[in-house]
Amino acid sequence: MRIRPVIAVVVACGLIVPAAAHAAIVQYDDGAAWLAAAGGTTDLDEDFEGFAADTLFRLAPVNISMGTLAQVGVDLEFRNLIETPPFEFTDNNGTNHASCFVNYPEGGTGTETNVELVFNDPVMAWGAEFTGVLGGEFLAIDVNGAEQTIIGTLLPAANDTFLGFVADAGEEIDMVIFRSQNDNPGGAGEGFGADNFGAVLAAAQPPPPEPAIPTLGTLGLMVLIGLLAGIGIILLRSRH
């Protein structure tokens, strides 16, 4: 039988296909548990004690240690300020705090009142103490990543509570939005106090790995595998 020359090159490749990581956060209702999960220490803190007088964030953003705090939406000329003594409302912990008000979009018209905390730098964990968050329309906190994509939502289980999150898949969080959960017609909304913010910055992403360059030994092994494969094919065909 006539044997035709066969050139076979076999390249062994290890392909690693990562599973699609679903963006997610883990909610914490206990400050100590949150801090432990976040790494044991915070990079940024805000207790509002640096404010000597009431400071509105109703009409313009106010700078705090980790970013800016601002009302977004309808201006009802109500709350949404850094409050210092004497306090107008009792839903606070007795120290300087953010006195907040949010309101559900009445009739679904988009006329909501929200409070946004926009971080100067992306974070992977954030938490705060809240007072009076289940007295009206109930507080919800949307956790947003890049391009304002909602990664998750924090929902309080108690009226006075700690609320925080830790991103569990390397997400970088750009902002959190305080909003109402429910529609209570008539502008009642949800008023509450927020204090003692803490945040952990997102780790810098490592640079992409350099392309692997085969060594002389690796090239030699690849050639040897190719030759052996070619010889094997020739021997198999010569038997037929």
| Tens-digit pLDDT profile for residues 45-80 | 999 999 999 999 999 999 999 999 999 998 889 999
Same domain, 161 and 188: yes
Say if 206 falls within a structural domain: no
Say if 16 falls within a structural domain: no
Same domain, 117 and 221: no
Same domain, 45 and 108: yes
Which residues are CB-neighbours of 37 under 8 A, at least 6 positions away? 26, 28, 125, 166
Say if 236 falls within a structural domain: yes
CATH number of the domain enclosing 171: 2.60.120
Same domain, 238 and 138: no
> Are 199 and 125 in contact, with CB atoms under 8 Å apart?
yes
Residue 223 is part of which domain span? 213-240
Say if 115 falls within a structural domain: yes
Same domain, 133 and 225: no
Which residues are CB-neighbours of 92 under 8 A, at least 6 positions away? 83, 99, 131, 193, 195
Report the distance separating Cα 63 and Cα 118, nearest Å: 10
> Are 121 and 136 in contact, with CB atoms under 8 Å apart?
no
> Residue 56's CB: how many other CB atoms inside 10 A?
14
Same domain, 109 and 197: yes
Say if 177 falls within a structural domain: yes
Say if 53 falls within a structural domain: yes
Say if 45 falls within a structural domain: yes
> Are 22 and 16 in contact, with CB atoms under 8 Å apart?
no
Same domain, 164 and 184: yes
Whole-model pTM?
0.76
Same domain, 123 and 239: no
Same domain, 48 and 152: yes
Out of 102-111, 165-174, 189-198, 199-208, the most confident range is 189-198
Say if 145 falls within a structural domain: yes
Confidence of residue 199 (pLDDT cuts 50, 70, 90): very high
86 prior amide bond cis, ω within 30: yes
What is the structure's pLDDT at 185? 80
Predicted confidence (pLDDT) at residue 147 exceeds the cutoff of 90: no
Total count of domains within the chain: 2
| Tens-digit pLDDT profile for residues 102-140 | 999 876 666 899 999 999 999 999 999 999 999 999 999
**23-32, 60-69, 224-233: the lowest-pLDDT one:** 224-233
Same domain, 52 and 118: yes
Confidence of residue 42 (pLDDT cuts 50, 70, 90): very high
Confidence of residue 2 (pLDDT cuts 50, 70, 90): very low
What is the structure's pLDDT at 5? 41
Same domain, 112 and 41: yes
Same domain, 133 and 227: no
